[in-house]
Each structure stands twice: as C-alpha cells, then as structure tokens.
Amino acid sequence: MRTVAPTISVVLPARDEGDRVGATVASALGAAAEPDGIEAVVVDDCSSADGRPRVAAGADRRRTRIIRSELHLGVGAARNLAARHAHGRLLFITDAHTRFSDGWDHEVRRLIAPSRILSVTVRDRASAWRGHGCRLVVPHMGTRWNTAPPATGTRAHVQIASSAGTVVQRALFERLGGYDEGMVHYGGFEPEFSVRAWRAGAEIVHTTTVEVTHRFKPEAECTAFLAAARTAMVHNCLRFGTAHLPESMILEMVRLHALEYPDHIREALVMLEQRSAWGRRAELARSLPHGFASFVRRFALLDQIGRPVPEV
C-alpha cells in the first residue's frame, strides 16, 4: 500500500495525558478532509507509566509517532522536539486534549502563507465560550483571551496566537527558532513566540473557520497545577519581558511580580540570571529586523492600566 507523505504534522506535547492523546489523534484524523495528508507527532514528556500516551491500533497508530523523553522538557522544548521529528510542511501545534472541527485541514491549507501564522478559534468543551487568540498584558507579560472575533471587514490580526491552536509553516517555525527553551516547564511560551514572530516580520491572523474544542482543567485541578508551576511561570514572564520590553518598563515588571508572588520572586530572579536573560535580549536585538516598538505601534499597545507603552 502506498504511503502518502503528510503535509500537516499535528504537534502534541503530552505529560500524563494517557488516553486523551489517542482521542485527540482520532479527532484530528477523523475530522480531516484528507486524513492521508495528516500525521501526529507526540512527545511523551516524561510521563508516569500509567500516564503515557496511548493511541488505538490501526490507522491512527500508523499515522502517529511517539517520541519519549526521560527528562521533563516542558512545553516549549517538547514542541520543538516534535517539530524536529515532523515530516509535514505545516505544523498544527495543539494540546493533547483537543477536538478538531470538520474539514480543518482544508481550511488550514487555504489560509496559510509563508510569513503568516494562523490562530484558530478555541472552544471550551464544557460551555459555549470561545477564545479568539489573545492580547498581551504589559508589563505583567501575561495574556487575556479575546472573547469576540475580530470585527467583520478588518484584517484579522491578533497579538498572540493560542497554544491550543497555532498553525505555522515548518520553514517559518525553524527560521524563528521555535519556542524559547530558556523558559521552563509551563507558561509564556506562546506569547513570547508570537511577539518574536511579529518582530521578525511575520503576521498572526485569526480564523473562525477552524476550531478546536479544548479540555480546560477543572478549578481544583487548575489550582493545584498552578501552585506547582508558579515559580516557573514567574520566571518565564520575567524572561519574556527582559527579552522584549523597553528597559524603562522592566523594573516595573519585576516589582509587580514581587508584590503578587513574594514567595516565588527570589528563586525566579536567580533562574533569570542563570539562564542569561540579558544575553537573550541582546541576541534578539541583533537578529530581529524590528524592535518591540513596532509591536507597540501596530496594536496601539496600552499598559495594563491604560497608559501608552513607551517605545524605548
């Protein structure tokens, strides 16, 4: 039987997701207009024995590769590893617990372009809520969901793509350098990648014609997860801001995190120094054609209390 080379690689980092991975792969292939053009590349990010990714035998398993990491890589490095193993021209980067809308692959091929990243609509599995990409919160360096789609008749640009639904040509992903592996475990990867993409001259366009339905963690599970990940998340926000913000805003960013997370700020600052955040800032200033000021101007960016963000 002739094997069709995939044109789209669905990238799935998975840590203790078990059967949810198989359900996501089945949805991606089952909802595709041309399933023979799809592959799934799963990174098992040091899951426990009971939580390792499980994909049903048959066509789903034949079109899935699982790469096992014995070290906990975190979201960014796991996605990068999956991308290095991908054969598709396009990467659809999502989570291990999503469902795909019918004909999603046809729409992705129709809408993608060499310097364009697609942000797809994310729907909550338990409600009718939808997210339409995200916007940046400065200088905290977090994000807020856009709960309404871009206005009809406008170029559907969004500041930040969703980590549950980002589509990019593999060549552009590689040119951008993938996700920042100086960040750790969880938090901030998609915002930093998105701002870096804008600074590199790419665009992020939102689409409502491709939708993934996402399993958001229940409140108790989310609270426990965030408590365990908090130091990493504070560090990642600080690294993100150090890499991109005007210098005049960096101290304010640190002050905000110190006030909000006094039990985590010291270790986060140590990690920031250990991981050469200022070196990363210098590297991006040398390699990217546009400064953060171009992002500020494009979106008339305001800080989190409504003041214009300085360009220097």
Torsion on CA atoms 102, 106, 107, 113, rounded to nearest 10: 150
Distance CA(151)–CA(131), nearest Å, equals 14
pLDDT of residue 3: 57
Residue 2 has pLDDT above 50, yes or no: no
Residue 88 has pLDDT above 90, yes or no: yes
Residue 152 has pLDDT above 70, yes or no: no
- Domains of the chain are 8-219 (3.90.550.10)
Distance CA(15)–CA(51), nearest Å, equals 7
Could you tell me the pTM of the whole model?
Answer: 0.95
Q: Which residues does residue 38 pair with via DSSP β-bridges, in sequence order?
A: 8
User: Predicted confidence band at 1 (pLDDT cuts at 50, 70, 90)?
Assistant: very low
User: Predicted confidence band at 243 (pLDDT cuts at 50, 70, 90)?
Assistant: very high
The string of pLDDT tens digits covering residues 163-201 is 899 999 999 999 999 999 999 998 999 999 999 999 999
The string of pLDDT tens digits covering residues 112-131 is 999 999 999 999 999 999 99
